[in-house]
């Protein structure tokens, strides 16, 4: 299906410094827009990236029916565009849509639309170390009436942005034992915009004490570790890769899933299970916390250098000793760039 396309009169590409790509600030020339009106998706269009105008009564602004995805596209040495796990992102977007009482997005709008959008802006895909084209689909309710009920109209916009590293340094994370990111039965497993908004205040408090991010704990006992910031979290205890098992308050990250697949195939012992703060403190005292890192699409693999808890500041082993995360980072990047065999069928090339 060919999507109606209105191209920019003049590309902004020559103004972009590809050696300096702060995350989320530089947008490619075009975006995809599709509206859901009166119970049906209308044909998508690809148009120049531009501001949109909304009514002050836009329902998403009031009651937060808003979801998004984060995914990445790369370019291989032959100049082909490679999408990493796009079908999985598509499926997760619709899981989020269901949870937030929003309409499912048709495959031809999301997947075919992304292919055409990124093909058009393929020159925006950066190829430097750690760089990618970040793809950000967002859907929000667009009724212009204030009522706490599912909207009848929605807008999907997919924008893309060339990006480099998300975190510029190893992270200091604080174990959060007062505030929660989500709760069992809540919206934590969905990429609902409000999950991220609700995380900002406790993150700001931690930042005032010099911490980049939080280690979120469960909402009942504040004891089971769930995620780190907007990423999943993993540890290497001795020589075992350990990550909190998923449940309804946690996002099923695709980077998480990819790393678990690859680690198991490397023959590494992998455990998806409850990881408590007590266990982490105990293992640290015993010198058994070899590595800790956050994993996510935007951040890739983000080393955690320091974990703070009450009066204790746990300094973890130096990055040069993080054998697993360093090897996995290189492997995953080479995989996404199409330099390895696509054993898992995760790549789509155009
Ligand atoms: C991602 O990793 O892509 C995310 O969506 C997390 C964050 C940038 C909000």
Distance 297 CA to ligand 1 centre (A): 6
The fold for domain 4-165 equals D-amino Acid Aminotransferase; Chain A, domain 1 (3.30.470)
Take atom 5 of ligand 1 and give the residue whose Cα is closest.
Answer: 70
Which of 223, 224, 183, 231 lies closest to 203, judged by CA?
231
Best mutation site among 167, 203, 296 for ligand 1 pocket (most ligand atoms within 8 Å of CB): 296
Residues 117 and 323: their CA atoms lie apart, in Å, by: 38
Residues 6+ apart with CB under 8 A from 116: 2, 3, 5, 32, 46
For residue 68, the ligand 1 atom closest to its alpha carbon is 5
Q: What is the reported pTM?
A: 0.96
How much is the pLDDT for 302?
Answer: 97
CATH superfamily, with its number, for domain 171-336: D-amino Acid Aminotransferase, subunit A, domain 2 (3.20.10.10)
Cβ atoms of 236 and 284 closer than 8 Å: no
Q: 132-141 and 71-75 as β-strands: parallel, antiparallel, unpaired?
A: antiparallel
Name which residue sits closest to atom 9 of ligand 1, judged by CA.
230
4-165 and 171-336: identical CATH topology = no
Q: Is the pLDDT of residue 193 over 90?
A: yes
Alpha helices in the chain (DSSP H): 59-63, 86-99, 107-120, 193-198, 200-207, 254-265, 277-285, 323-336
Length of the chain: 350
Exposure string of 131-145, with b = 16+ CB inside 10 Å and e = fewer, is bbbbbbbbbbbbbee
Instruction: Quote the radius of gyration of the chain (alpha carbons, Å).
Output: 21
Percent of the chain exceeding pLDDT 90 equals 98
**36 by DSSP, 3-state: which?**
strand
Nearest ligand 1 atom to alpha carbon 255: 2
Average pLDDT across the chain, whole number: 97
Q: Which residues pair with 133 in a beta bridge?
A: 73, 162
Span from the CA of 180 to the centroid of ligand 1 (angstroms) = 18
301 CA to centre of ligand 1 in angstroms: 12
For the chain, the structural domain boundaries read: 4-165, 171-336
pLDDT single digits (tens) 196-234: 999 999 999 999 999 999 999 999 999 999 999 999 999
Nearest CA among 84, 7, 70 for reference residue 259: 84
pLDDT band at 165 (very low <50, low <70, confident <90, very high): confident
Are 118 and 125 within 8 A, CB to CB? yes
For residues 134 and 70, is the Cβ–Cβ distance under 8 A?
yes
Burial of 257 by CB count in 10 Å (0-12 exposed, 13-18 middle, 19+ buried)? middle
Cross-strand partners of 228? 215, 231
Percent of the chain's residues with pLDDT above 70:
100
Q: 287 C-alpha vs ligand 1 centroid, how far in Å?
A: 31
Q: How many CB atoms lie within 10 A of CB 290?
A: 19
**Distance between CA atoms of residues 156 and 224, nearest Å:** 35
The tokens 């060339």 sit on which residue?
A: 162
Query: Nearest C-alpha to atom 3 of ligand 1 is from which residue?
Result: 70
């Amino acid at each position: 299906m060919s999507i109606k396309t209105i191209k920019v009169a003049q590309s902004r590409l020559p103004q972009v410094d590809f050696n300096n790509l702060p995350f989320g600030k530089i947008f490619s020339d075009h975006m995809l827009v599709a509206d859901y009106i009166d119970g049906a998706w209308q044909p998508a269009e690809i148009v120049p990236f531009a501001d949109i105008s909304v009514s002050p009564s836009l329902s998403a602004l009031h009651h937060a029916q808003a979801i998004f995805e984060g995914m990445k596209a790369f370019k291989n040495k032959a100049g082909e565009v490679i999408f990493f796990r796009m079908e999985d992102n598509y499926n997760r977007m619709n899981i989020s849509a269901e949870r937030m009482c929003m309409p499912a997005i048709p495959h031809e709008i999301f997947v075919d639309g992304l292919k055409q959008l990124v093909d058009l802006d393929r020159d925006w895909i950066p190829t430097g170390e750690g760089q990618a084209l970040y793809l950000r689909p967002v859907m929000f309710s667009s009724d212009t009436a204030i009522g706490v009920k599912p909207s009848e109209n929605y807008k999907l916009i997919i924008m893309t942005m060339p990006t480099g590293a998300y975190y510029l340094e190893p992270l200091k994370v604080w174990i959060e034992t007062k505030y929660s990111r989500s709760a069992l039965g809540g919206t934590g497993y969905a990429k609902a915009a409000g999950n991220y908004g609700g995380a900002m205040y406790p993150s700001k408090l931690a930042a005032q004490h010099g911490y980049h991010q939080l280690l979120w704990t469960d909402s009942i006992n504040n004891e089971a570790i769930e995620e780190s910031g907007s990423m999943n979290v993993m540890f290497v205890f001795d020589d075992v890769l350990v990550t909190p098992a998923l449940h309804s308050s946690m996002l099923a990250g695709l980077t998480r899933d990819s790393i678990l697949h690859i680690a198991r195939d490397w023959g590494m012992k992998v455990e998806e299970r409850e990881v408590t703060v007590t266990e982490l403190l105990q293992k640290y005292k015993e010198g058994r916390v070899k590595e800790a890192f956050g994993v996510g699409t935007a951040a890739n693999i983000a080393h955690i250098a320091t974990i703070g808890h009450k009066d204790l500041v746990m300094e973890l082993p130096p990055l040069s000793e993080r054998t697993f995360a360093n090897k996995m980072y290189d492997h995953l990047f080479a995989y996404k760039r199409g330099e390895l065999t696509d054993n898992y069928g995760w790549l789509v090339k155009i």
